[in-house]
Amino acid sequence: MKLKIFLLTLAGFAIIATSCNETHSQKASNGLFYNVLDYGAVGDGQTNNTKAINTAIETAAKNGGGTVFFPAGDYLSFTIHLKSNITLHLDQGAVLIGDKEANGVGYDLPEKETWYSKFQDFGHSYWKNSLIYGDSLRNIAITGEGLIWGKGLQTHDKPELIGSGNKAIALKNCVNVTIQDISILHGGHFCILATGVDNLTIDNVRLDADRDGIDIDACKNVRISNCIINSPTDDGLCLKSSFALGYARDTENVTITNCQIFGFDEGSLLDGTCTTHFIDEAPGVNHCITGRLKFGTESNGGFKNITVSNCVFEHSRGIAIETADGGSIEDILINNVTMRDITETPLFIRLNARMRGPEGIPVGTIKRVTISNFNVYDVGGRPKRPGLGAAMIMGIPGHYIEDLTLSNIRIYFRGGGTKDLISKEVPQNIDMYPDPYRWDSMPAYGLYFRYVKGLRVNNIVLRTLNKDERPAFVLDDVHDATFFDVDAQQGENVPQFILKNSSNISIHDVNGVHDQKVGKVSNKVL
């Protein structure tokens, strides 16, 4: 009786298997599912599969679209040309490897220079020299639990090195794009570069980058969620609004949520070790433990209607919001962020006038930014850079950051700043690349404001882990500001506030300072 039941069970499985095979066959014949092995690909880690992969994509596109499938294996390739209505699916165990060029044979050459190429960094003007490339496409996706390894990709951004592949995924002027569940290791200059891409979803992606992780440039209707990004030497997640399309276009309607951003050693995220052998100690050095979330620096267009929520940072820089080239930053909400071991400032908001773009464009604006529920521990102050770490919020003469709210914020700084920093002449750097390292340590250990109007600061806790002889707050040319419910650590014989050229400053329930309203003042300590 048991044998009969067993045989009947086997027969049932056979019927199910036959049914599944028939379904698979029908999908293949109907042009829905295309296995790259059927088009000559070999996943042995030695064979270059560029022709086979592109043939599978072209066949699927001619049949109206479908899924190009990579089963487990190691697939070397140069430039892969995406088509509309195509999904690239990397199965668990599939590794798409950017091959190394030899004898001038390899990735597609980048586009020719245009009259506006000079208005953005080199990498933002070129998309074709990538491992996966698409231009003016609709309804595309890159999915699966597999890995994209940019083994042969370069990290350069110099014209004299033109010709080598330097991006893992580059998309331009596309609509309805999904990138989901994949991992990218060593993605070149950019793991993901999206320019002029609308209706873009990036979800549950793991990036272990050697330069930028994700760059969203002049895009609209973007959702980035549940991503883990490790980028020790450049920006982890970067929103930009360049002139790369030949005109200024806003990046707008963006949500970033449930993401983690790190600056661990490259490769140590995906192998699970998360090591930190590389230490950022050199003063005035850029590209040292970066891994931040940044708006800008490319900012010919604006940044509008953007939220960031429920994000975690560790061993990285913090958040930078910058407009340098005439763009407007408006209606930004950042909420529920926690950070640990931040190598520089946790918050950098900068309005300046580099003005790299067509002549006649006015200086940009920053308006209506709200940052709340911000928890930071162990900021700045590396051994050779004592006192580094203050949050910096700075406009330029005649151009103010407006309507800024900071609430429910707790920051623990390493501290170590000395009294001589209080009298430091803070440089304007009006037309320079805006980056915190250009200012280094500031006159305040906590928050430094310059050229700000309409400031609301409430429910703030500031602490230093080491002795610091600077005030918690410096306000320079700040107007219409309110500080309420502030608990800031205060050194002996050190004021809480230094006010310069400011007016209409209200202070209530601030430890160490009597409640008061300051009218117009040129120089005052509280």
165-190 per-residue burial string, b: 16 or more CB within 10 A, e: under 16 = bbbbbbbbebbbbbbbbbbbbbbbbb
| Segment 63-87 mean pLDDT | 97
**Which tokens belong to 40?**
């000559």
CATH H superfamily, domain 29-278: Single-stranded right-handed beta-helix, Pectin lyase-like (2.160.20.10)
pLDDT for residue 394 is more than 50: yes
pLDDT for res 18: 37
pLDDT (tens digit, 9 = 90+) per residue, 134-157?
999 999 999 999 999 999 998 875
Please report which confidence band the pLDDT of residue 162 belongs to, taking 50, 70 and 90 as the band edges.
Answer: low
pLDDT (tens digit, 9 = 90+) per residue, 267-305?
999 999 999 875 554 444 444 689 999 999 999 999 999
Tell me the CA end-to-end span of the chain in Å, nearest whole number: 93
pLDDT for residue 2 is more than 80: no
Question: Which of 43-52, 95-104, 287-296 bottoms out in mean pLDDT, i.e. has the lowest?
Answer: 287-296
C-alpha 277/C-alpha 460 separation (Å) is 33
pTM, 2 dp:
0.92
C-alpha 138/C-alpha 160 separation (Å) is 33
The DSSP element (H or E) to which 11 belongs, if any, is helix 2-29
pLDDT for residue 104 is more than 50: yes
pLDDT for residue 159 is more than 50: no
- Tell me the pLDDT of the chain averaged across its residues: 91
**Which tokens belong to 231?**
């980028």
3-class DSSP state of 37: helix
Question: Which of 54-68, 101-115, 201-215 bottoms out in mean pLDDT, i.e. has the lowest?
Answer: 101-115
Kindly list the domain boundaries of the chain, sorted by start residue: 29-278, 292-304+313-526
pLDDT for residue 30 is more than 80: no
pLDDT for residue 31 is more than 70: no
Please report which confidence band the pLDDT of residue 387 belongs to, taking 50, 70 and 90 as the band edges.
Answer: confident
C-alpha 481/C-alpha 123 separation (Å) is 41
